Chain A
Amino acid sequence: MSRRPLEGIRVADFCWVGAGSYATKILADHGADVIKVESSMKVDGLRLTPPFAERRAGVNRSGYFADRNSSKRSLALNLKHEASRELARRLIASSDIVANNFTPGTMERFGLGWPTVQQLNPRAIYLAMSMQGSTGPYSHHLGYGLTMGATVGLQHLTGDPDREPIGTGTNYPDHVPNPTHAAFVVLAALRHRARTGRGQYIDLAQIEPSLSVLGPSYLQWTVDHDAPTRQKNRDDNAAPHGVYPCRGERSWVAIVVEDDDAWQTLVRVLGIAPQPSWSTFAGRKADEDRLDHLLASTTSTWDLGDLVVELRQSGVLAEPVLDAQGVVEDEQLAARGHWVRLEHAEMGASTYNAWPHRMSRTPWRLGPAAPLLGEHTDEVCREVLGLSEGEIAGLRESGVLK
């Protein structure tokens, strides 16, 4: 098998729940040895979050947790226990990256803040991913992806201008802006270290990448003093540009018409009688409410699959709005091998997201499946921390390794 790009890199991973675990999954699936430090005394919330295999709850049964933790090892360490701190320090001493997404102060309470880590291991790259950053008046704030979406304007800018702002309905910042920016900056720091031998401290305030991906909306305000608003599904470059109902429940087609020829084609396929003024983009844009209304009343008589085939064959840009089942069964994603099945000791075979990129020479490889809580405790204690069987047994006895 080919070499994965991050083989030889070790990560002491104190992350839990959302964006942090997703960021270290990127590193793990690309070959880094990610050692997830967790504890049955304060379980990673995602282990307790549905969906569960066979709908039976259990710390090793969450599909949500599993997807974010492929290719990692799990070390159960009760950080509330004084004796665990020395083990954590040994792990850090042998790691290249030390990652956490706690609120500021937590790692310091465990005696694992950056000044300590830097002394232990000046080559370490320390990634802190709190919500608002490690300093400032809001640094102690708590929140999740959904509240971050509200904080940075994503929610305000999504929806109908005449109704409530609704956002994406998901913890979007956890899945794209934060894990990608975290992985990117850590890789850049690895490059700096390769050239200088020096590690460094990275303070990634999760609201900041979440805001950075909305840059054009911000510039509309800061450069032009023109306040951006919710636009439903409309776009200044195309009309029609929207999502329209098809026959049946929750059946939607997305249609984008970028020029007048495509518009004439759409008129022909749907058999609608347009206003004369609609033959130009400006005319359609000026009358978009009526246009959308007419389209919706026509598309709603069509079967979604038939309409998409018909529009594509005629050269109109159209896609079905896929729900979760549609995405899992999508033939294009299947052809890309997007969904990877991994065998898990308790869950059996279950599905994981692969990555959006294929690398020709140093491909990622998912696996093994997400670890059981503490699955690799003995192995890590022996191989990484250099403990004897007797020492491991003693630590287990005194409640450190749980």
Chain B
Amino acid sequence: MTASTSESSAAGRNQLTAGPESALAGVRVLDLTDLRGGYCGKMFAGLGASVTLVEPLDGVRSRHRAPVSQREGLDSLSFTFLYEATGKRSVAIDLEHPDGPGVLLRLAAAADILIEDRGPAYWNARNLGYEELSQANPRLVVTSMTPYGQMGPDSEREASDLLILARGGMLSLGGYSDGQPMRPPSNQAHVAGASFAAVASMMAFLAAERDGQGQYIDLSLQEAITMTLENAAHYWELEGTIRRSFGERQRQAGTGVIRCSDGYVFVLAGGIGGNRFWPNLVDWLTDEGVEDADRLAGEQWSDLSFIATEESKAIFSEVFGRFAAGKTKAELGERSQRWRVPLAPVNSPADVLDSPQLAHRAYFVDTPLPNGERSLFPGAPYQLSETPWLPSTEPAPAIGAHTETVLSSAGFDAEEIAQLRDQQVVR
């Protein structure tokens, strides 16, 4: 792949709005997620599917779940909703009204994929279980994301992001050496479940496009988080050892978080593939004129048992720590790469917004907000030569902003829609 073809095709096509060139053009997704699964529909929308958020008349709970924006005119919308709902349409249906479920069934009849995160009990109680949905549309793929999935002793248990991270094992691998585990930001249990749900839903949709038959997908957020255990389960099985967090300490000499003049860097120079990066590190420090760089040289540094010792970690801390204290994280990030040493600045979002690499790739995209203003959003997670990811031309929708459009494209006539509105079945 040459630089020129990649850039010109990606940049050129990104100007277009969703059209026949989208990979998922014509794919209709009903997004019935309330609190956890919004990222799934976002992945579909980015590649050109038409994603419709189906909300209660007063909106889904994710709209105002903290943290919320304080920006004027944004009506305390949550950052999660702004991020995940931008690019989706909104239709508001009161499913507690006796006529509400019938409206949803008609929308389902005209959809390809339905995703939800309230669990089957909620839908069964409204006669909207998989049986009813698949009768209305045998091609429909229905995907449920629930904390623990739909079999087993905890299938009905309620949970939240932190609890799933705990029960899935991910928390046990993080945290400080002397304290409790620490939760990552932005609800990673929700995102993990939602992104695996997107893969599974797409897989099932491709099957339905081939043979006209839909299916039901039961996704467990706990299992999605269990995928993050790396080799920890295998350490337990094969060696009987429990992997723990290394936290603020070095995992082995040359691997860990190190303070520098304006923050921190994460260095991963030790213990990779037979310590293959170690000689690069020594060369780098020698070239920088670090006086005691030779303390890091010698055969013992390629011995895994030596670099596991406190002695070796202390030497690394002294030598590298003193050097790093006089450099910024950006300087260290830049120079380490010149010497082929895996090291990265511990960036804040503000630092990342300044990344020349992401600027080159036009990663952050100027995106409309519901108050008529605009802001940068994280953009394409991938660049495709033929069917690029598309930034949204519309802001996150108001409740029911597309009720009329969506209902009429599903075959409701104007009179029906007016009547449903009058009876407050839809908004």
Contact = CB atoms under 8 A, between A and B. Distances in A.
B127 interface: no
B195 A189 contact: no
Contact of B228 (A6, A170, A220, A241): A170
Contact of B182 (A136, A188, A233, A325): A233
Interface pairs A-B: 5 shortest CB-CB: A335-B152, A63-B234, A236-B66, A356-B223, A361-B215
Interface of A is mostly: mixed
Nearest to A223: B375
A63 B227 contact: no
Given A138-B356, A212-B378, A254-B166, A144 B176 contact: no
A175 interface: yes
Given A169-B245, A188-B202, A320 B166 contact: yes
B141 to A, nearest CB: 9
A184 B389 CA distance: 12
B195 A217 contact: no
A141 B345 CA distance: 13
Nearest to B259: A164
B344 A362 contact: no
Interface stretch (A79-87, A147-155, A379-387): A147-155
Interface in A198-232: 198, 200-205, 207-209, 211-224, 226-228, 230-232
B268 A213 contact: no
B171 interface: yes
A317 B363 contact: no
B406 to A, nearest CB: 23
B203 A6 contact: yes
A203 B157 CA distance: 40
B347 interface: yes
Contacts, number: 530
Interface string A235-257: 11110011111000010101010
Interface in B231-269: 231-239, 241-248, 255, 257, 259, 264-266, 268
Interface in B350-390: 350-353, 355-358, 360-361, 363-364, 369, 375-378, 380-387
Given A135-B361, A142-B340, A208-B382, A150 B80 contact: no
A185 interface: yes
A333 B222 contact: yes
B376 to A, nearest CB: 4
A172 B191 CA distance: 12
A254 B171 contact: yes
Contacts of A318: 163
B79 to A, nearest CB: 4
Contacts of B168: 322, 327
Contact of A168 (B170, B233, B234, B381): B170
A5 interface: yes
Contact of A184 (B70, B198, B204): B198
A222 to B, nearest CB: 4
Given A184-B199, A222-B376, A317-B159, A163 B171 contact: no
Q: Considering residues A128, A140, A214, which has the most beta carbons from chain B within 10 angstroms of its beta carbon?
A: A214
Contact of A233 (B1, B149, B183): B183
Interface residues of B, number: 157
24 contacts: A63-B237, A67-B231, A135-B6, A138-B357, A142-B340, A142-B342, A153-B348, A154-B184, A155-B257, A163-B176, A169-B174, A172-B228, A180-B198, A181-B195, A188-B47, A215-B378, A218-B377, A219-B69, A220-B67, A244-B180, A250-B172, A332-B154, A358-B217, A360-B215
Interface string A168-203: 111110111100111111011111101010101111
Contacts of A136: 356-357, 360-361
B158 A317 contact: yes
A319 B169 contact: no
A113 interface: yes
Contacts of B200: 355, 357, 359
A274 interface: no
A176 B190 CA distance: 11
B12 interface: no
B180 A245 contact: yes
A339 B234 CA distance: 11
Contacts of A219: 69, 79, 82-83, 375, 377
Interface in A1-59: 5-6, 26, 30, 45, 48-55
Contacts of B220: 336, 356-357
A113 B162 CA distance: 43
B248 A166 contact: yes
- Contact residue range for chain A? 35 or more
B58 interface: no
A55 B344 CA distance: 32
Given A233-B181, A356-B219, A359-B215, 14 more contacts: A45-B273, A50-B239, A115-B1, A136-B356, A169-B245, A188-B24, A188-B47, A192-B23, A207-B357, A213-B39, A220-B349, A319-B167, A338-B223, A356-B227
Given A224-B71, A238-B160, A324 B243 contact: yes
A331 B160 contact: no
Nearest to A107: B1
Interface in B21-69: 23-24, 39, 43, 47, 65-67, 69
Interface stretch (B98-106, B117-125, B206-214, B287-295): B206-214
A235 B66 CA distance: 8
B337 A140 contact: yes
Given A51-B235, A202-B382, A219-B79, A167 B174 contact: yes
Contacts of B162: 233, 235, 241-243, 254, 256
B181 A321 contact: yes
Contacts of B195: 176-177, 180-181, 184, 213
A134 interface: yes
B74 interface: yes
B153 interface: yes
Given A180-B199, A322-B167, A133 B173 contact: no
Contacts of A393: none
A270 interface: no
B360 A158 contact: no
B148 interface: yes
Contacts of A287: none
B357 A194 contact: no
A166 B7 CA distance: 35
Given A167-B266, A185-B382, A353-B227, A137 B244 contact: no
A88 interface: no
